[in-house]
A and B are shown apart, each in its own frame.
Chain A
Amino acid sequence: MAATETELLEIMAEEAMVDRSALTRSAVFTELGFQSLDVVSVLFEIEGRYGVVIEEEDMPPVTTATTLGDVLDFLLGRINAAVA
């Protein structure tokens, strides 16, 4: 099952209880208020919904320059490569 950006943003907003309108591609990821458990909860939901496994060590390092768009591109790439 392929994923869309909108679906991933909805998962993030729900799991981390952050304002959906704050989740824009240009937002700096470390400034969005995700805590460590929010990240693993988002991955858990994504894995369950799309039937993929995403290891944390496979994720690119998150720096103060990483945008939400970077994170989305990584996740969409992994999900859609797995289901292709």
Chain B
Amino acid sequence: MSGRRQVAVTGLGAISALGHSVAENWKTVCEPRSGIAPQTLDAGPHGPAPQTLPLARVAPGYEAPVEAHLGPRACNALDPFAALALCAAFEALGDAKLLDAAELRRRAGIVLGHGFGGGEALEKAFARFYGDKTARVHPTTIPRAMMSAAVSAVAMSFGIRGPVFATSSACASSAHAIAQGAALIALGQAEIVIAGGSEAMATPVSMATWQAIRALASETCRPFSARRDGLVMGEGAGVLVLEELGHARRRGATIHGELVGVGMSSDAHDLTQPALDGAVAALSQASESGGLLDAESVLISAHGTGTVLNDQNEAAAIHKVFGARGATHPVIATKSGHGHLLGGSAAVQAVIGLRALAERLAPPILNYLGPDPSCSLDLVLGQTRPITSTHLLVNAFAFGGLNCCLAFRGR
């Protein structure tokens, strides 16, 4: 993005099964410890028997810091997907030293991505409608469930009056949100954009739909590993504060990195099976525009869902775009710890990746059982590894063949 308004990252926020803050997520992913565990979902009196399956759920109590600042009703009318986003945005704004700042009321915007929206609110309404056989569903169902509930909550909570909207592209939603946030800054539409995403699909009907599509792992998420058999659903949110670089420097903000490249593409191929060309197009656009093709070491935060085809396709795309360096760039896959947050994944991966660049330390891929010859990459395994990477690549290759890759330069 040289010659244009440049985009700095000045704030980070993350909530996942690994912890309620960026610091907790970073600590847990480095221990290393996975947030994936067997969980029992009770579908209530109208549903089938409770079932137990591996999930990466957020521990209760994540709302406490926001409620202490904004009051006890801050998350009251929100579905968990929106409450998670609000809480991660609160942390990111605090990190950027922008909470209650006058800058937020001038030329600031919000773009958050979600693959699904308020599943819990909808399932409660369906249970009343079909189970209790009453049309009297709760009046807050629509305001809770709508995809834009999270951005509205963040806007109202922090007085943000600029461009505010949600993006949706399944598992790439927050990558597209960050890309659009950067575009708003590059186009001069905003000086500050709160960008990222969230998801909370660990609800009984939602999980039944994921089981029906045969995408879920039987035990756990094993990215790029032999005998991997699917993804594990996670909950959470990741938020970056994006800021025009000059604006950030003038106010003396701490700069975590710069968003230097974006690549977006569509496979136009199949709803659930990835295509090599689409992944290569997004990867190469992001890498070329961000100057990553000449970098000695790029930390690659892989989409790495742990499904057979995705990991194979991603490995092939990395080799095709980076050539010989495709075998030497360190690859991490943090979904093995925080699960697949769908719309929130890329943002949480960006947060962890930027921390890794700053600490010069890559967190390991968990649950690995041995090599798969079709995924021969420089996987970070076993324990944290010291790195010299100057750049970070965050990959998101979504259902429906929607791809978005983000390239960052560290500080």
Contacts and interface: CB of A to CB of B under 8 A. Distances in A.
Contacts of B138: 41, 44
A54 interface: no
Q: How large is the interface on A (under 10, 10 to 19, 20 to 34, 35 or more residues)?
A: under 10
A9 to B, nearest CB: 17
Given A17-B72, A17-B73, A17-B76, A40 B139 contact: yes
Nearest to A36: B143
B133 interface: no
A61 interface: no
Q: Which of A16, A37, A43, A48 has the most CB of B within 10 A?
A: A37
A10 interface: no
Given A44-B136, A44-B138, A48-B136, A37 B143 contact: yes
A47 interface: yes
Interface string B132-174: 0000101110010000000000000000000000000000000
12 contacts: A16-B73, A17-B73, A17-B76, A37-B77, A37-B139, A37-B140, A37-B143, A40-B140, A43-B139, A44-B138, A44-B139, A48-B136
Interface residues of B, number: 9
Contacts, number: 19
A41 B73 contact: no
Interface of A: 16-17, 37, 40-41, 43-44, 47-48
A47 B72 CA distance: 26
A40 B139 CA distance: 6
Given A16-B73, A41-B140, A44-B138, 16 more contacts: A17-B72, A17-B73, A17-B76, A37-B77, A37-B139, A37-B140, A37-B143, A40-B139, A40-B140, A41-B138, A41-B139, A43-B139, A44-B136, A44-B139, A47-B136, A48-B136
A44 B134 CA distance: 13
The 7 closest A-B pairs by CB, nearest first: A17-B73, A40-B139, A44-B139, A17-B76, A37-B140, A37-B77, A17-B72
Contacts of B140: 37, 40-41
Interface of B: 72-73, 76-77, 136, 138-140, 143
B329 to A, nearest CB: 49
A43 B136 CA distance: 12
A16 B140 CA distance: 12
A43 B73 CA distance: 19
A21 to B, nearest CB: 15
Contacts of B73: 16-17
B118 to A, nearest CB: 14
A6 B139 CA distance: 23
A62 B143 CA distance: 23
Contacts of A37: 77, 139-140, 143
Contacts of A40: 139-140
Nearest to B71: A17
A44 to B, nearest CB: 5
Nearest to A47: B136
B291 to A, nearest CB: 48
A17 B78 CA distance: 14
A41 B140 CA distance: 7
Contacts of B77: 37
Nearest to A53: B136
B309 to A, nearest CB: 43
Contacts of A48: 136
A48 B72 CA distance: 25
A40 B143 CA distance: 12
A17 B76 CA distance: 8
A16 B76 CA distance: 9
A40 B72 CA distance: 20
A42 to B, nearest CB: 10
Contacts of A47: 136
A36 B140 CA distance: 10
Contacts of A44: 136, 138-139
A52 to B, nearest CB: 12
B351 to A, nearest CB: 31
Contacts of A16: 73
A37 B77 CA distance: 8
A16 B143 CA distance: 15
A67 to B, nearest CB: 22
A12 to B, nearest CB: 13
A16 B72 CA distance: 11
A16 to B, nearest CB: 8
A48 B134 CA distance: 11
